[in-house]
Amino acid sequence: MRRVVCPGSFDPITNGHLDIIIRSARLYDEVTVAVLINLEKSSLFTVDERIDILQTVTKEFPNVKVRKFHGLLVDFCKQNDIPAIVKGIRVVSDFDYELQMAQLNYRLSGVETLFMPTNPEYSFLSSSRVKEIARYGGDVSGLVPDLVHKLLIERLRG
Ligand code: PNS
């Protein structure tokens, strides 16, 4: 069984995240989407809401499962027998940051990190930009799954 993890905050998931998850699911037997429980950072959606959203938008991919984790990602990987992390790289500055994290994670545990170039259609996209645009009434359709679009409007304007 070839397993990988796609980790993140997913507050909320964007079409850029979804693209990386789907492409990973085509390459590997099992993809675990791991949602970070971060008590220090305020979020728009609770971890359980984010998990529900992720499960809904990935339901047509039977080899994708969604879990939450806290603490170190590599500990989650070890506990779940996952040897590699998949990270999307949007721009060169992502690589700078992700390279250090990948090297640290490898040093800590031997867990590998695989970089996947983001679809250029989404290279400008982030959850925080999506939230900001939606908060001020901008149109985020096409940038996030339809379900997220609907929930963002409800949460931010309603
Ligand atoms: O979507 P995000 O917020 O950019 O995801 C970041 C995430 C969750 C992948 C990263 O913060 C993470 O792995 N956090 C867990 C703590 C950890 O393992 N840190 C790395 C130490 S080298």
Q: Is 125 annotated as a binding residue?
A: yes
Percent share of the chain, pLDDT over 70 = 99
pLDDT above 90 for 139? yes
H-type alpha helices, 1-158: 15-27, 47-57, 73-79, 92-109, 127-135, 146-157
- For residue 157, what pLDDT is reported? 72
Ligand 1 atom with the shortest distance to the CA of 11: 1
Instruction: Tell me phi and psi for residue 77, to 5 degrees.
Output: -60, -45
Question: Span 29-41, mean pLDDT?
Answer: 97
**CA-closest residue to ligand 1 atom 1:** 8
What's the mean pLDDT in 9-37? 98
Distance between Cα 158 and ligand 1 center (Å): 31
Ligand 1 atom with the shortest distance to the CA of 104: 22
158 has pLDDT over 90: no
Given this model, what pLDDT does residue 156 score?
87
The answer to whether the CB of 72 is under 6 A from ligand 1 is yes
88 marked ligand binding residue: yes
30 phi/psi in degrees, rounded to 5: -145, 130
**What is the pLDDT at residue 82?**
98
Q: Rounded CA gap, 17 and 40, in Å?
A: 23
Neighbours of 121 (CB within 10 A): 12
Q: Residues 33-48: what's their mean pLDDT?
A: 96
Nearest CA to ligand 1 atom 8: 8
User: Once rounded to an integer, what is the mean pLDDT over residues 116-121?
Assistant: 97
Q: What is the pLDDT of residue 149?
A: 97
Q: Above 70 in pLDDT, residue 2?
A: yes
**41 annotated binding-site participant:** yes
Mean pLDDT across the chain: 97
Ligand 1 in reach of 58 Cβ (< 6 A): no
Q: Stretch 100-115: mean pLDDT, rounded?
A: 98
Query: Is the pLDDT at 71 greater than 90, yes or no?
Result: yes
pLDDT of 3 strictly over 80: yes
